[in-house]
A = this chain, B = another copy of it.
């Protein structure tokens, strides 16, 4: 994402910049809307090392604009507190030593109110900058603004995941939003649909995978055209003939795996997963809990019965992989997934649906036999069998932003397609999410593939 790869912005008129400002405000409001149902106390909790307190998320995404845009380019910019640069730096070691991650929950000051003041301060100052941007840095300001907005959207999804985990740790089973509860109770399927997944076949061949950095800034459409460093460059991969299931694995199907002793059969498991499972005592997906003989799950509407026809969610890579082996299939590679997804419309159940829970497809009406795979986007992030590694020709961004994705290319698996907590304009066929194989608190599910 160097300037040289883009057409110059000299022609960026005020209308364009106002459009960016509008998007900025829109994204900023979305973060706050997600936190609106929280009590002050909820903002403070770090329920496990992977989780960050919501307060920290809100401050950190603001710090990003301060550290990478306002501090370098807004004349006379003043921070509310120089310590924020230490407290809210996540992992940009080239920018300065970050505050230890596992202690984020111990920082009660700044308070939630002060963090909202920090947000308002950043908003005002960004407005001030964009009202009269220094022309010689406009390109870079817009570049970083764009990253900053996508960064904040990433954290919106993390906010949902983390809030769910925070509330789930509480034996009171607190409810985040009551309307979610009403909807989930009204629609949970108590009987599994009988249909097996159907398979779509894809021919062998050299495929174009990934994308290049756009050469034009993405001024006038909603996020379209933006890509993270890790999705670049567009490159060739040979993909052998394969088949992909038309939908994610459902809760009903995963229950069969459980009942068939899936968690007790060593031959189904990767060695690391087998040992981890014994240490942790996993017997079902995260958040599942048997109440009076029936499986329930913690949702953002509290504890509700498991919807048998919804995609299974909150499974680790190890469970996804074991399930696939049990089913006589395997997980798709990320190239296979992208091959199937690249032609599909970017539609699905996203955060804007406000259910924050994977949903059953509307399959009762009967399936069109020729239709494409369903639910590739939204509902659940789909584990792939691919490790998160650099694409051939990958070059990280320069400076601190070069730490964005590249430094995590070790020990993680790729997930694709977004989920019920992803902003709808924050996903695309080439988007590479990643988590360590043991992670279960993301909205992660399973889609099967198989060799022909």
Contacts and interface: CB of A to CB of B under 8 A. Distances in A.
A109 B240 contact: no
Interface in A334-392: 385-387, 389-390, 392
Contacts of A45: 44, 105-108
B169 A267 contact: no
A273 interface: yes
A426 to B, nearest CB: 23
Interface residues of A, number: 71
Contacts of A41: 40-41, 43-44, 55, 108-109, 111-112
A402 interface: yes
A81 B174 CA distance: 13
A86 interface: yes
Interface string A229-246: 000000111101010000
Nearest to A207: B238
A265 to B, nearest CB: 9
A437 B451 contact: no
Given A109-B172, A240-B392, A389-B386, A410 B47 contact: no
A170 B106 CA distance: 7
A47 B100 CA distance: 13
Interface string A396-431: 000000110001111100000000000000000000
For A109, A204, A235, A408, the residue with the greatest tally of chain B CB atoms inside 10 Å of its CB is: A109
Contacts of A272: 410-411
A386 B270 CA distance: 18
Contact of A170 (B109, B318, B387): B109
A403 B91 CA distance: 38
B238 A106 contact: no
A93 interface: yes
B170 A107 contact: yes
Given A387-B389, A407-B271, A266 B106 contact: no
A166 interface: yes
A167 B109 CA distance: 8
B237 A392 contact: no
A410 B41 CA distance: 36
Copy number in the complex reads 4
A86 B171 CA distance: 9
A392 B206 CA distance: 14
A39 interface: yes
A83 interface: yes
Nearest to A392: B240
A293 interface: no
A294 to B, nearest CB: 21
A83 B171 contact: yes
A41 B330 CA distance: 47
Interface string A163-177: 000110111101000
Contact of A238 (B237, B273, B274, B408): B237
A91 B271 contact: yes
Nearest to A44: B44
A41 B104 CA distance: 13
B386 A410 contact: no
Contacts of A270: 407-410
Nearest to A107: B170
Contacts of A110: 172
A52 to B, nearest CB: 13
For A44, A270, A385, A403, the residue with the greatest tally of chain B CB atoms inside 10 Å of its CB is: A44
A252 to B, nearest CB: 27
Interface in A102-134: 103, 105-112
A108 B44 CA distance: 8
A72 to B, nearest CB: 18
Contacts of A206: 206, 238
28 contacts: A39-B108, A40-B41, A41-B43, A41-B109, A46-B106, A47-B106, A81-B172, A87-B172, A91-B271, A93-B266, A94-B266, A105-B106, A106-B166, A108-B166, A108-B174, A109-B170, A109-B174, A236-B238, A237-B237, A269-B407, A270-B407, A270-B409, A272-B411, A317-B410, A321-B410, A387-B387, A393-B451, A410-B437
